A and B are shown apart, each in its own frame.
Chain A
Amino acid sequence: MKILIIEDDKSVRDDMMELLRNASYEVFIIEEFNNVLDQIININPDLVLLDINIPNMNGEMVLEKLRKISSVPVIMVTSKNTISDEVLSMGYGADDYVTKPYNPTILLLRINSILRRINNVSEIVKYKDAIVNIKKGTINYCNKEIILTKNEMIILGFMLSHKGVIVTRDELMTDLWDNNEYINDNALTVNISRLRSKLESIGLQDVIETRKGQGYILL
């Protein structure tokens, strides 16, 4: 997945780049703000993070012009959190809107959910011959079916969209909270171990590995 960062503050830009690289996205940046539009077209990203206050043409104008030629998803980033900005950028067709300073985990979550929505990830995901129905909260494997609770499904869903990547406890927790499940640290541990034993009960053994001090990984 290619993400383009359009941000004029070098420090923020570099940090954002590192954040997204760590989350295993392919990151592009713009350092010359003379012909932003051409650069966007040349790079052809899957998603654009667009700051409102950039030199020459401001972010809103960039978005307005971009929308005439492309439907690439855009997240507007700004430190000005006045409503007029929001109305404007939504009117111009931004897909989401975050204000500085943003919680990096939440930013990643927003990016992930937009990319998932755009790529039309279906509610039924295949994982090692198992069929996971995210909406119904069921897994079918070798003619056996288990039902997951909402929390367990959120955890598994997040891991499925980050298959083979370490997910931190904080990311899982943020995703749960984002889905109105306000659980604490102990409850997260309990939910993960319950999810593991449920997966084991249908024969999916040791699919979630613990990486000490880092998080979990779905193999």
Chain B
Amino acid sequence: MKFLSFVKSKCLFLSISFFMYFVVLLLLFAFKVDISLIIAFTVLFISVNIINLLIEYFSKRKFYNQLINNVDKLDKSYLVLETLKEPNFYEGKLLYNSLYEINKSMNENVMEFSRQVSDFKNYIEMWIHEVKIPLASCMLKLHNNRDKLNENMMLQLNRIDDYLEQVLYYVRSENASKDYFISKVNLEKCVNSVLVKNKDYLLDMDIILDVRNVDFEVYTDAKWFMFIINQILNNSIKYKGKNSIIKIYAIRNPSNVVLIIEDNGIGISSADLPRVFEKSFTGSNGRDNVKSTGMGLFIVKNLCDKLGHNIEIKSVQGEYTRVEISLSDNNFYDEVR
């Protein structure tokens, strides 16, 4: 709150009062009052005005400066009311009470929306579990009456399952971290079960697998981590090149284990590479080749962040894509427990 601006805002009040002053002055001259009385009146008039202004300025400045500063400093500026004391001047009280009411109605509004979102998420989760039952039934039916056509249908059912999982993990990764559980997990087992799950897809696409040196114990949530590997593997299959090989191996460092999934597929252009983890980013690969939602890697990044894993993608277009996930293998979690 600046003094000059404050005075300017009082312009009307001051000009009226000075106008009255001159009227009084003229009257005093007209009645030929003694000059010393006029001077005394002038001094009195000016000092009363100044004192008035100063008192008002300082009492308001305290409240408004606090308001402005706190709005600036808080990263959630809507909480500013909590930091203020109710002011003792009338306009301030009006403002304070209005802010209070506005806040309240806003909160109710936000609450309503967040309730709707969480209801919807719960419904989606439930719905996915429900859909998985007929899906399981279909898979069993196909398996019980199998021929060449059915194998292809099985592949498609697996794809549906993958897409369902993606939604499920999207809902979960956005939620508060409630349903993951970090424990000691064998990396080879995780990799193996993802590969077995994708066996038909990999064989169908004529992809050679080169898996070595993954027998390490790491700290992660097995389910989430398997979802992450599954997403990356599926990207490698989706964007494969000719004579495709997918190499999966791990490197042991003093403080972590790095799992590397490397393909010789079409790669990612250097322009797209920094943005692959962005939500809904499809890039030229997603547009040109296969329909892509741009959600897979976004969810993967989100889950990795929650689990405390570092994920990096290196790629040269037309040559390779290498995904590196570093997992902690220290016994921090053991020590905590």
A18 contacts B139, C-beta separation under 8 Å: no
When distances are taken between beta carbons in the complex, the residues of chain B under 8 Å from A105 are 143
Determine if A180 is an interface residue (Cβ-Cβ < 8 Å): yes
Which DSSP category, helix, strand, loop or mixed, fits chain B's interface?
A: helix
Which DSSP category, helix, strand, loop or mixed, fits chain A's interface?
A: helix
B211 contacts A180, C-beta separation under 8 Å: yes
CA distance A150 to B181 in the complex (A): 35
Binding-face segment, A80-88, A141-149, A151-159? A80-88
| Chain A, Cβ-Cβ closest to B188 | A180
Determine if B51 is an interface residue (Cβ-Cβ < 8 Å): no
| Chain B, Cβ-Cβ closest to A178 | B196
Query: Which of B133, B139, B192 is close to A79, meaning CB atoms less than 8 Å apart?
Result: B133
When distances are taken between beta carbons in the complex, the residues of chain B under 8 Å from A99 are 132
Within the complex, the shortest CB–CB distance from A165 to chain B, in Å, comes to: 16
Max count, chain B CB within 10 A of own CB: residue among A12, A99, A101, A106? A101
Chain B interface size, as a band, is: 20 to 34
Assuming the contacts A79-B132, A185-B203, asked whether A22 and B209 have C-beta atoms less than 8 A apart, the reply is: no
Determine if A127 is an interface residue (Cβ-Cβ < 8 Å): no
B144 contacts A101, C-beta separation under 8 Å: no
Determine if B115 is an interface residue (Cβ-Cβ < 8 Å): no
Q: Which A residues between 7 and 24 are near B, CB-CB below 8 angstroms? A: 9, 11-12, 15-16, 18-19, 22
Query: Which of B132, B188, B209 is close to A182, meaning CB atoms less than 8 Å apart?
Result: B209
B223 contacts A184, C-beta separation under 8 Å: no
B129 contacts A80, C-beta separation under 8 Å: yes
Query: Which of A19, A22, A83 is close to B223, meaning CB atoms less than 8 Å apart?
Result: A83
Within the complex, the shortest CB–CB distance from A189 to chain B, in Å, comes to: 13
Q: Which A residues between 171 and 212 are near B, CB-CB below 8 angstroms? A: 173-174, 177-178, 180, 182, 184-185
Q: Given A101-B139, A173-B199, list of 19 further CB < 8 A pairs?
A: A11-B137, A12-B133, A12-B137, A19-B144, A82-B179, A100-B133, A100-B135, A101-B132, A101-B138, A102-B139, A103-B197, A106-B196, A106-B197, A173-B203, A177-B195, A180-B211, A182-B195, A182-B202, A184-B206
Which A residues contact B (CB, under 8 angstroms)?
9, 11-12, 15-16, 18-19, 22, 79-84, 86-87, 99-106, 173-174, 177-178, 180, 182, 184-185
Which B residues contact A (CB, under 8 angstroms)?
129-130, 132-141, 143-144, 157, 161, 179-181, 188, 192, 195-197, 199, 202-203, 206, 208-209, 211, 221, 223
